[in-house]
Chains A and B, each alone.
Chain A
Amino acid sequence: MSSDASDGADAKTALRVRALESLLLEKGLIETDAIEELVDMFENRLGPWNGAKVVARAWTDPAFKQRLLQDGTAALAEMGFDTIQGEEMVIVENSPGVHNVIVCTLCSCFPWAVLGLPPVWYKSAPYRAEAARDPRGVLREFGTEIDGDTEVRVWDSNAELRYMVLPERPAGSDNMDAAALAELVTRDSMIGVSKVAPP
């Protein structure tokens, strides 16, 4: 986003956030170190790099993968990802016959603990409506073609449950270790709108 219009909008938002922040501080409703902690949480600790580590481990550690698919919440806790908006986690596995995709048709529920805050498109009305009604069409917009024999499963996060997709390990990654594999895993592949590209 580098157009003048979006720069203007960003500048306006930044100004509004600064104004809100100083008001909250002046009124004594929030403390500075609490703001710093919140920013650190969302910038450095909650993000798709967590989910990528989980996926890479599942690809390289079959016992962990089994635990992850059986009880996602417990397996994620092993890795320290039992945090906000990851209280009840279900991990769904993509395979040659099944492709999973996640949506929240009612609002914007998203597994913060492993993927961070949702992208803007995930919260938009068109994605929320179309991912449920025509998931193959939505996937095509993301450049993802799913063959006719494969079952597309849409998971609507309408309850106190958060989903993450375990994407398929790409071809040509056999000799890579977990750290290198984690670098390949994208946020979108863990939402299910794309696949993990070969290295």
Chain B
Amino acid sequence: MPVVDLELVKNLYKTPGAARLPVDVAPRFKAGDAVVARNINPPGHTRLPRYIRDKKGVIENDLGVFHLPDSRAAGTGDQAQHMYTVRFDAREVWGVEAPANDSLRITLWDDYMNPA
């Protein structure tokens, strides 16, 4: 078992583990694309929140390439995918009682979406 010493703690503070990947992968979507979040219910870890599944949104911007958390957590190998800021109208998610102006921003990986 590794001992938590001063150096380890200093490295923790100064050189954090970024999940961004310096690799070139083709994006499936671009800003302005209409998308629908997939309705998946994996037994393991996912960062696709349940409340957004099957809801329609619009890609706001491409954030670059990141590890897909699902496959990392499952131990099935690293997958590099584009991650996007996706806008969902509050009414699309919560229904007609939600204020017309309001919206949510969620970060979604390529695998979490289909073209709408």
Q: Which of B's residues lie within 8 Å of A, judged by CB?
A: 1, 3-6, 8-10, 12-14, 16-20, 47-49, 51, 63, 66-67, 69, 83, 85, 90, 94, 99, 101-109
**CB–CB B3/A30 < 8 A:** yes
Q: What are 30 A-B residue pairs whose CB atoms fall within 8 Å in the complex? A: A31-B6, A34-B4, A34-B6, A34-B8, A37-B6, A37-B10, A41-B13, A87-B20, A90-B85, A105-B51, A132-B104, A133-B51, A150-B101, A151-B101, A153-B102, A154-B102, A154-B103, A154-B104, A155-B104, A156-B106, A156-B107, A158-B47, A159-B69, A159-B108, A160-B18, A160-B66, A160-B67, A161-B63, A161-B83, A161-B107
Determine how close the nearest CB of chain B comes to the CB of A31; give it in whole angstroms: 5
**Chain A interface bracket (under 10, 10 to 19, 20 to 34, 35 or more):** 35 or more
A158 CB contact (under 8 Å) in B9, B49, B67 = B49
Residue A86, interface by CB 8 Å: yes
**CB–CB A29/B107 < 8 A:** no
By secondary structure, the B interface counts as mixed
**CB–CB B16/A41 < 8 A:** no
Given that A31-B3, A34-B4, A88-B20 are contacting pairs, would A154 and B10 also be in contact in the complex, using a CB cutoff of 8 Å? Answer: no
**CB–CB A87/B94 < 8 A:** no
